[in-house]
A and B are shown apart, each in its own frame.
Chain A
Amino acid sequence: MDPKIVEPTIFELSSHGRIGVTMPASDVPETALPPKDLLRSDLPLPELAEVDVVRHYMHLSKFNYSVDSGFYPLGSCTMKYNPKINEDTCRLPGFLFTHPLQPIETVQGNLALMYQLQEWLKEIAGFAGVTLQPAAGAHGEFTGVLMMRAYHKSRGDHKRMKMLIPDAAHGTNPASVGMLGMSVVTIPSDERGNVDLKALEAACDDTVVGMMLTNPNTLGMFDENIEKVIALVHKCGGLMYGDGANLNALLGIVRPGDLGFDVMHFNLHKTFAVPHGGGGPGVGPVGVAAHLVDFLPEPLVGILEEGEDDGETAPLFGYVKPAKTIGRMKAFNGHFGGGFVRSFTYIAMHGPDGLKDIAQYAVLNANYLQARLRSTYHIPYDRICMHEFVAEGRFEGSDVRALDIAKRLMDYNFHPPTNYFPLIVPEALMIEPTETENKDTLDAFADALIKIAEEAKSQPELLHNAPHITPFGRMDEVKAARELVLCCWLPEGYDTSA
Chain B
Amino acid sequence: MNTPANLKYAKSDEWFDPATGKVGITDYAQNQLSDIVFIEIFVEAGETIEAGKAIASVESVKASSEIYAPASGKVAAINKDLPNKPESLNSDPFGSAWMIQLESASAGDVMDAAAYEKHCEERAH
Contact = CB atoms under 8 A, between A and B. Distances in A.
Contacts of A423: 63
Interface centre among B62, B64, B123, by most chain A C-beta atoms within 10 angstroms, is: B62
B61 A481 contact: yes
A482 B64 contact: no
Contacts of A481: 35, 37-38, 59, 61
Interface in A455-493: 477-478, 481-482
Contact of B86 (A171, A420, A477, A482): A482
Interface residues of B, number: 12
B87 interface: yes
Contacts, number: 22
A420 B37 contact: no
Interface in B50-97: 59, 61-64, 86-87
A477 B64 contact: no
A420 B87 CA distance: 20
Contacts of B123: 426
Contact of B61 (A171, A421, A478): A478
A477 B63 contact: no
Contacts of B59: 481
A477 B61 CA distance: 7
Contact of A478 (B32, B37, B64): B37
A482 B63 contact: no
A478 B35 contact: yes
Interface in B19-71: 32, 35, 37-38, 59, 61-64
Interface in A386-425: 403, 420-421, 423
A164 B64 CA distance: 19
A37 to B, nearest CB: 38
B25 to A, nearest CB: 16
B84 to A, nearest CB: 10
Interface centre among A423, A426, A482, by most chain B C-beta atoms within 10 angstroms, is: A482
Contacts of A478: 35, 37, 61, 87
Contacts of B61: 477-478, 481
A421 B32 CA distance: 13
Nearest to A174: B66
Given A482-B86, A482-B87, A171 B38 contact: no
Interface string A149-184: 000000000000000000000010000000000000
A373 B3 CA distance: 36
Contacts of A426: 32, 123
Given A482-B86, A482-B87, A171 B64 contact: yes
A482 B37 CA distance: 5
B62 to A, nearest CB: 4
A478 B63 CA distance: 12
A287 B63 CA distance: 31
Contacts of A171: 64
Contacts of A477: 35, 61
A163 B114 CA distance: 36
A421 B60 CA distance: 13
A426 B37 CA distance: 20
Interface in A320-353: none
Contacts of A403: 62
Contacts of A421: 63
A426 B86 CA distance: 23
16 contacts: A171-B64, A403-B62, A420-B62, A423-B63, A477-B61, A478-B35, A478-B37, A478-B61, A478-B87, A481-B35, A481-B38, A481-B59, A481-B61, A482-B37, A482-B86, A482-B87
Given A426-B123, A477-B61, 11 more contacts: A171-B64, A403-B62, A420-B63, A421-B63, A477-B35, A478-B35, A481-B35, A481-B37, A481-B59, A481-B61, A482-B86
Interface of A: 171, 403, 420-421, 423, 426, 477-478, 481-482
Interface of B: 32, 35, 37-38, 59, 61-64, 86-87, 123
